[in-house]
Structure 1
């Protein structure tokens, strides 16, 4: 298939395919005398893998490393994609239900509990796992996933509520100084909770706090518990890490 045919089939731009070629992520199998890039079934399979990883939030540089690794197994990757996409679908379904109930709540048709208000917001695991792997390596993330995988469904639900409860407690004191005793006591709850599922060093803990502000996805979700909470947590996490080194 020519590049324009591939672009039309997949729903991406020709410019994107040119960029993938330039960075060594996806080369055409051949080029005609007229200069047209040609893609075979092998390249289309690779493109499908690339787009699955992109849908799950992996950066292009990391996708190239993964796919080009000698240990990469396409079938294993597809199973992982399937599992992660199902989890994403289920979480979005829960959030849609929460939105619908919130609309009814605002209309006065129902009364929502605090727990119902935040159903679908899952902070029990890092939804941006790739960033964590890039910054701190695989070990801490793998330990976290292993611990989560050993939990029952009820344990996971309880743990998610514990995380949300800590967010709410932090939101209550977000207008206090990040140096204050109450701020440091509550950010310690967060540090201890994270280390129930992972192995976060003080350095990693401080770096995670910085991500809460640098990555708008984190900021948007965290600040739903209270305007400015992400900045407050970043500052409190930095101070906690410095004091306990």
Structure 2
């Protein structure tokens, strides 16, 4: 047997090399094509044959790939005698630390989004009472998910609530309180539903309420009905001014009419 034949006899095929290295044959073909790890021998038929030195190089490539280095960085480590391996690894660790921080931030955002979809307002019961007033019932916000949890509007509400700060909730609560006070004052002053002054208040309501989810005029009509018919809502508005729930509903209806909407046929859309 000649020297070449003895050398080939000591080699392994590409399939065997792939199995020993724990990679696919396709991967070895790619590394060969880009000159990262080419077999030293070939049979007379042109088949790849990997020597022991080739296998050692594959082991090193796999080791550095497993710690996240790119192929260019691996090539530099293996082929550049002046390469600072420890410096390359420290840089890789720094990049990994940055990525870990990004993933932790992403995880925190996902956690808040998940909680918002499940709870709605991400404030403690005590904080909600402080922000929305002593008569606020945190249980109502939780109950809202039971009623509306499968709607697009609940999803929109949760998406906005997830990252709303306590200060932003306070600002929104103040805007709602000011609006409700102005509604009560308008009723006291004898403002007639459908007049420009009443319509201006209804537009303000739609604008403020749209901080929770986009509120169309037809949807606002549906809310007006609920404000008047639901015992909890009607008690709230009539607690501000006697008769405010009905006046508010009538004002919403008349405002809708000025925009070509028949309140009698309005639906949640």
Larger radius of gyration: 2
